[in-house]
Amino acid sequence: MAQALRPIELFDEATHAEALREATRIAEALLFAASEPLDESEIARRLPAGADVQAALQRLREDYAQRGVQLTRAGRKWFFRTAADLSWVLARAQVEQKKLSRAALETLAIVAYHQPVTRAEIEDVRGVAVAKGTLDVLLDTGWVRLRGRRRAPGRPLTYGTTDAFLMHFGLEQIGDLPGLDELKGAGLFDGALPKGFGVPQPSDDAALKEDEEPLEAEAAEALEMEFLDAPEQPDALEEE
């Protein structure tokens, strides 16, 4: 027979439940009022002292799981989004969008799986030079960002993905990218793979690695200088 809770235990449990409900309500209000996704740290800062932000967000996520809008996470940022099966209701017109070139898609994939990565490292993986506009286009989309500088001769810039990349592709975290078995299952590797071939485990940890240095204020200018000597090649929005 289960032992009955003592009055003090019942009081503590009720107090905890009430605190969680209040934290959930505040988190809901913050997310609805926000014009852009909110970082967990910002939500936690606005909750009462000692509130469990993870528990509150999980409760809120469960509350909205079957509704027309759902709570979604991308990295450490949270936001409300129309339920995937209802997106057609809000679609007013079909907008024609240009597709990224194969070179841009390959470059994006390399950045996602190998970040932090330099331009030279991207070229080493692809086996060809990166076109002048390819990285520019990926930076303009907001899917790729400048991270830092590699502690190596020439101090090359390093690149990584952004929360916008996660949101666009419906990922909660970069580790949700498909691994080798999933890629094989999708038929992307039909032939025999080289011995020892593997797909790296992606990580987008915001902290700089030991071999990276912080960017200077003139990083954008440095990026432009980096491409000055690059030969003109097809734009990243054109098929190669």
Q: What is the pLDDT of residue 56?
A: 92
Q: What is the pLDDT of residue 60?
A: 92
Q: What is the pTM assigned to this prediction?
A: 0.60
Which helix (DSSP H) or strand (DSSP E) does residue 154 occupy? Answer: none
**Cα→Cα distances 46→23, 55, 88, Å:** 9, 15, 35
Residue 122 C-alpha from the chain's centroid? 19
Q: Kind of pairing, strands 117-118 and 157-161?
A: antiparallel
Q: Which two tokens stand for residue 51?
A: 């509130």
What are the per-10-residue average pLDDT scores of the chain (240 residues)?
51 73 91 88 89 90 89 88 78 60 89 91 88 87 91 90 88 83 66 66 83 71 49 45
Domains in the chain (CATH in brackets) are 12-85 (1.10.10.10), 102-226 (1.10.10.10)
Q: What is the pLDDT of residue 144?
A: 93
Q: Which two tokens stand for residue 34?
A: 């926000």
Task: Judge whether 218 and 153 are in contact, CB under 8 Å.
Answer: no
What distance, in Å, lies between the first and last C-alpha atoms of the chain?
A: 73
